[in-house]
Every structure is written in C-alpha cells, then in structure tokens.
Amino acid sequence: MDLRVGRKDRYLIQGPIPVDVEMKEHLREFFVKAYTNYLSIAEEEGYNRSFLDDEGYLVCDQVYASKNEKVELFDVLYYGDQNDIFLYHIKEGFGQKTRDACSQIRNAAIMLRTAIDQGSYEILKNLYKNATTSESATPFRKKLKKSLEVLTEESFIDLFKNKVREQIVFVYAFLDDAATERLLENENDPGHTFTKNDFRDLGIPIDNILSLLQDKNLLDEKHQLSDTFLRLTEDSFKSALKSTSICQRDLKKIYEILCKHLSQYDSAIAKIELLHIKREIVEELGFGFKICQIRRTPNLFTQTEVLCQDLDQSEMQLDVSSISSFSYQGIKNGGNDCFLNSAFQLMIRSSLWSFFLDGNNLQNLEIEKELFDTLTEFNEQYFSKETIPTTNQFRSILKFHKSDQGDAAEVIDKIASKYKLKPIASTFNRVRKVDPKKKTLLKDQNIDQLTQINQDCTLQIEESHFLLKLDLITPADSSNNVSFQELLDNFLNPPTQDDLQKYSEEIKFVEDGKAYQVPVEFESLEPKKLSDELFLQIKRFNQDNVKLNTNLTMETGSFTFCGHHYELTGFIIHVGETTKGGHYMCFNKIETEWICFDTNIKKLEQEQLEKEFSRAYIIRLHVKK
C-alpha cells in the first residue's frame, strides 16, 4: 500500500488495504469492495467470468474454435432471450481498444457466416470440442466445461441453427476509462432533425438557414448533420459559407448550435471503426449489431447496470477534422466474394492490370471477349468512383461456384492463363540430369514431340513462371516464425532425392529413333530473366488441404531474389482453415502508406503491418530502382 497525505481527509490508495491502517469499518468495507472490483476489471476476463454461474450465459473468452486461428467467437454469450442470442465482445476503454474489438468481431462474424452458409457449423463444433476436451484444470475451464456439457453440442449448435441471421446479434460492450465517466444514456441525440427553433435565438433572419445549410451539403435531406459537416473544422465551416451574407460572428454561433449534437466521445478511431463494423455486420453479413456500456459503479457486476442501445449510422457522429482524409475505392462483397475482391485489389495496383486491359495480350481475343469486356467495364467503374463495383460477375466467367468461397491465388492464375504472359513472366531453365542406364523402352510412343538428351546426360527446358510458388519451410525454433527472405533463398535449392521420387515425373526422350523414359537423378532451376514485378504464392496448404500457420517475418520489407533487389508492395492474407472458407484481405503500399482493403478501408501502422504480413498467402514485390 502506498499512503500519501495530500490533505487530512484525502488519501491516494494503491494496492490492498493493510489490516494495521485505522479506519471506520464501513469505510474499510467500501475500499475492499472497490479494490476487489478493480482487480476484476483490470484483467478483462475478471468481468467476463462473473457471468459463469448466471443462467442463460456462456463465457468463452480466450477459448478458440481453432488452435491455429486465434479468433474468439465471443467473450460472453447470452441465450436467455426468447428471440435473439447476443455475442458480447468486451473491452475497457473507447479508442484503440475499440479497433481491436472490432477486428475480433469482424473475424468472428465472417467465420460464423461461412459456417452457417456452408451448413457445416464447423466453428461451433470446434469451439464446443475445444472447450469440453481441454486438459486445463483451472476453475474457469471446469465451470465452462460443465455448463457446455449440460447444454450438449447439438443444443449449442441449435442456438444458432434455429435463428434467422438478424437474430444473431454481435455486441460491442465497453467500460469507459475517461477520468469522468461518460454515459451512453447522456449521449446527445446525433440523429437530431434541425428546425427553425434551433436557430431562433440567433437574432438574425432564420428563414433561409436550413435551406442554406442543405444547399452546402452540411445538412442532409432529413435536416440532420451530414458527413460533410462532420469533417469540417470551425474555420473550414466558415469558409464554406463565406459567400453568404452571414457575418463571421453569427457563423460561429451556427457552428456551435450544430456541434451541440455531436458525440461526447472524442475518439475518432473508435467511432470510425464502429460505423464500419455496423455496416459490415448488418448490411453485408446480415447479423444484428448493438453497442452497450458497462457502468463504472461500485456494484460493477449487476446486470441492470448494463445499458444497451441499437447503433445506427448516425449514432456515433464523427469529428475527423484532426485526421488526414484519404479516399480509396472499395469493392462490394456480394457474399463470399472476398477471395475475388482481394485478388483484384492486389492486381489493380500493379503493372499486371494494364497488361490485362490490352486485348492484344490475350491468347485469343475472340474466345476471351467476355472476360476482356467485363475487365474493361470493371476498370471503368472502379476508377470513376461513381459507384462501388462488384466482382461477382467474374464467378461464372472464371468458372467458380455461384456462391461458394474460392481461392484468391486461383483467381489470379485463371485470369493470367488467358494471356500471353512471356513478356511479363520470369524465365528459368530447368535442368534435369538422368542416368541412361536406368532407361526403359516405351512401345507405341509418338516420338515427334520428344527431345534428345545432351551428351552430359542432361535435359534443359525453358520455363516461364508468372505466379511463383514458395515452399513454407519448418521454423528452426519454437517461435513458429520463419523469415520470408529465407523462403526466397530456398526457391532455387534443388529438390531432395525423396522429393524427386515422390513428385517428379520420369523424362521421356528419343534415342536412335526409339522412345524411352528415365527417372530424374538431379534437378535444378537457373534464372534466365526476372520480371520487375513478382507475384509469389506461399504454399500454406499441404496436399490434404491442411493449413500451415507458420508466421512470416518481413524485417525491413526489402528482399533479395536471385541477385536482384526487391521491395514489398502488396500482399493478401487468408484467415481460416481451408482455401474454400474463411476470409481474404488485401494490403497495398500506396506511396509511403500501407492501406488495408477489406470490407472497410484503413491505414496500417508498422506494428500492424508486420502482424498482418506474418499471415501472408500471396505477395507482390517490385524491383528497387
């Protein structure tokens, strides 16, 4: 305990209350209770786990549906409502931690929707299994296991299976950590509709104020604050109305009247994230979404102290004047389109895109006219920014299922296969050495397309590669990390004898007018020409389609490949267990900034960039000038 006297009746107490400190009993009880509550909320799970014994609640914080993908489906689940079930994600603070919570909610919602759409409910089955078969003997795990086993796996899945999607409600719950607690119940009405009465005390003619603000796009058609106003400072507001007859003093008063209906919460990051997550969860994924506040009271765990509200787009007004604005085009997700969208976002910001938009580069323009016309139309929509384009129309053209998830790498491969890629591809000589003594005669074999073996018993074949595939090597230590540079260095390493026997086909050749085949003894790859821009696919899935979750490290973002120097300019990550499920996201370097292109578009700091790159699946490099 640290006891400091500021005044005789004021103390700063840190830590538990020592028994030898004299104080009245009711005061001691108050401090002990306050300190106990503080310890509970200081560790996030303390609050969550206070619901362990409550009927209709399940607590699964730090319990994952997959050991590889650390995605929490919910911290607390409430299923005691007749109509809806509520998946609570709980954080202390309203700011950066809100972004973390929104990311967690986003991943959980995407994985849950995939499981529901596919009818497998895999994430729910795995969560139930991991929670009930865990070897952990902590009191929390024992109680969770007991509550789930009483519910049974089938009943647990039925909680979701028997609901329409909007009855599954994700909830962002927060405890305000401001010096003075701010309450949602005291929040200004951000959906306020302005009338003449709002401006009657100005002392100036007010007949035209509403129409003037609407003409300047500061109020929308409902006479509510518009996005344009939310992005204005006081000076820029005055500048927007400087051509009017209203003096600067009265413009200031009008601005202050409008600002009275802004949110009291000052974190633009949190508000932006909540607006984005609401659109994604409700409009795109079809689930319900609410925001609630956990009251900061001595009786911290009383359920009646939790205030819950629907979050409308206007409920968290944004004052983003202090944030530099940026505008990048997104692509609409029509349902499981993320594999297409991420592939297109990666290609659009590369030299590959202009190559695809030149019909002369197609192998057969007449046959691939539908693909070319659709690419051209998509390009016009994307860069006009008049509408948000979609990639769903490419499903039938590229022969993907009309609604299922696909593989982003396969999207790039399928489009590229329609083009004469040699001008932009990297070229290698594949050298194979054989032992002629092991040759076997082939009967009834056409020898017209066969070649001869060189005198040194080697066969050289020139190959063009557009999407280079890198093996994901086993990490050298228990950190589960491997350097991306190491993968590049290993690309030219010759395969082992075991690999040759497993994967290499025997070579067919002609000798003295007869056809033979012979096993490969040694194989190597020699670079002949490297492209200025490289697309690389990490082999994150083995032959059984099991995902390898080794983390990649990017160091400085500059790499050496076959003696050439490249820098990282873009990549795609995959979240989930198989290429046919989960979620894809694209990240592009634009000038000096890294931008995440997902259902919402946001900038990345270096720490976030390194974290996302660790899961990279497709990578784009550009030669350093």
Half-sphere exposure of 18 (CA within 13 A, CB side): 8
* 468 three-state secondary structure: strand
Ramachandran quadrant class, 15 (left: phi over 0; alpha: psi -120 to 50; beta: rest): left
Residue type, 449: Q
In angstroms, the Cα distances linking 556 to 234, 388, 560 are 41, 34, 12
Distance between start and end Cα atoms, the chain:
60
Choose among 220, 203, 310, 291: nearest CA to 258: 220
| pLDDT value, residue 48 | 61
- Structural domains for the chain: 4-39 (no CATH), 47-184+267-313 (no CATH), 196-259 (no CATH), 331-426+466-493+529-625 (3.90.70.10)
Q: If you search the block for the tokens 């809100």, which residue do you land on?
A: 98
| pLDDT value, residue 304 | 33
pLDDT in tens, 47-67: 566 677 778 888 887 787 766
The arithmetic mean of pLDDT across residues 333-338, rounded, is 84
For residues 586 and 347, what is the distance between their CA atoms, to the nearest angstrom? 10
Q: Is 472 within 8 Å of 548 (Cβ atoms)?
A: yes
pLDDT tier, 326 (very low <50, low <70, confident <90, very high otherwise): very low
| pLDDT value, residue 612 | 93
pLDDT at 568 over 80: yes
The arithmetic mean of pLDDT across residues 94-114, rounded, is 80
Computed over every residue of the chain, the mean pLDDT equals: 79
For residues 317 and 263, what is the distance between their CA atoms, to the nearest angstrom? 6
pLDDT at 316 over 50: no
pLDDT at 156 over 70: yes
Quick one: which H or E segment has residue 426?
strand 426-434
pLDDT tier, 222 (very low <50, low <70, confident <90, very high otherwise): confident
User: Token pair of 545, please?
Assistant: 């389609």
The arithmetic mean of pLDDT across residues 226-237, rounded, is 74
User: Token pair of 403, please?
Assistant: 């609604």
| pLDDT value, residue 197 | 84
pLDDT tier, 512 (very low <50, low <70, confident <90, very high otherwise): confident
The arithmetic mean of pLDDT across residues 113-118, rounded, is 84
For residues 98 and 108, what is the distance between their CA atoms, to the nearest angstrom? 15
Backbone angles phi, psi at 496, to 5 degrees: -75, 165
Residues in the chain: 625
For residues 538 and 214, what is the distance between their CA atoms, to the nearest angstrom? 52
* 400 three-state secondary structure: coil
* 332 three-state secondary structure: strand
| pLDDT value, residue 309 | 42
pLDDT at 396 over 90: yes
In angstroms, the Cα distances linking 348 to 1, 39, 360 are 60, 50, 19
User: Token pair of 250, please?
Assistant: 């009265």
pLDDT at 313 over 70: no
Backbone angles phi, psi at 282, to 5 degrees: -85, -55
For residues 439 and 436, what is the distance between their CA atoms, to the nearest angstrom? 5
| pLDDT value, residue 462 | 85
pLDDT tier, 305 (very low <50, low <70, confident <90, very high otherwise): very low
pLDDT tier, 114 (very low <50, low <70, confident <90, very high otherwise): confident
pLDDT at 353 over 50: yes
Choose among 136, 160, 156: nearest CA to 147: 156
Q: If you search the block for the tokens 């505008």, which residue do you land on?
A: 327
pLDDT at 86 over 80: yes
Q: Which residue blocks in 385-467 are alpha helix, DSSP H?
A: 394-397, 408-416
| pLDDT value, residue 502 | 59
Helices 96-118, 122-133: crossing angle, 10 deg rounding = 110
Q: Which residues pair with 601 in a beta bridge?
A: 597
pLDDT in tens, 461-506: 888 888 999 988 777 677 789 999 999 998 888 777 666 665 567 8
DSSP states of 205-249 as a string? Answer: --TTHHHHHHHTTSB-TTSSB-HHHHT--HHHHHHHTTTSS--HH
Q: If you search the block for the tokens 């969550």, which residue do you land on?
A: 48
The arithmetic mean of pLDDT across residues 524-545, rounded, is 88
Q: If you search the block for the tokens 């074999």, which residue do you land on?
A: 445
Ramachandran quadrant class, 79 (left: phi over 0; alpha: psi -120 to 50; beta: rest): alpha
pLDDT at 190 over 80: no
Contacts of 446 (CB under 8 A, 6+ apart): 515
Q: Which of 4-8, 66-70, 210-214, 581-585 has the lowest mean pLDDT?
A: 4-8
Half-sphere exposure of 417 (CA within 13 A, CB side): 7
Q: Is 1 within 8 Å of 13 (Cβ atoms)?
A: yes
For residues 450 and 512, what is the distance between their CA atoms, to the nearest angstrom? 12
Backbone angles phi, psi at 2, to 5 degrees: -115, 110
Q: Which is higher by pLDDT, 62 or 596?
A: 596
Choose among 341, 351, 332: nearest CA to 620: 351
The arithmetic mean of pLDDT across residues 569-580, rounded, is 87
Q: Which is higher by pLDDT, 542 or 424?
A: 424
For residues 340 and 212, what is the distance between their CA atoms, to the nearest angstrom? 44
Ramachandran quadrant class, 460 (left: phi over 0; alpha: psi -120 to 50; beta: rest): beta
User: Token pair of 218, please?
Assistant: 């500061």
Q: Is 381 within 8 Å of 391 (Cβ atoms)?
A: no
pLDDT tier, 4 (very low <50, low <70, confident <90, very high otherwise): very low
For residues 576 and 208, what is the distance between their CA atoms, to the nearest angstrom? 56
Q: Which of 111-120, 208-217, 504-513, 612-621 has the lowest mean pLDDT?
A: 504-513
The arithmetic mean of pLDDT across residues 138-163, rounded, is 84
| pLDDT value, residue 470 | 92
pLDDT at 303 over 70: no
For residues 222 and 195, what is the distance between their CA atoms, to the nearest angstrom? 10
Neighbours of 176 (CB within 10 A): 18
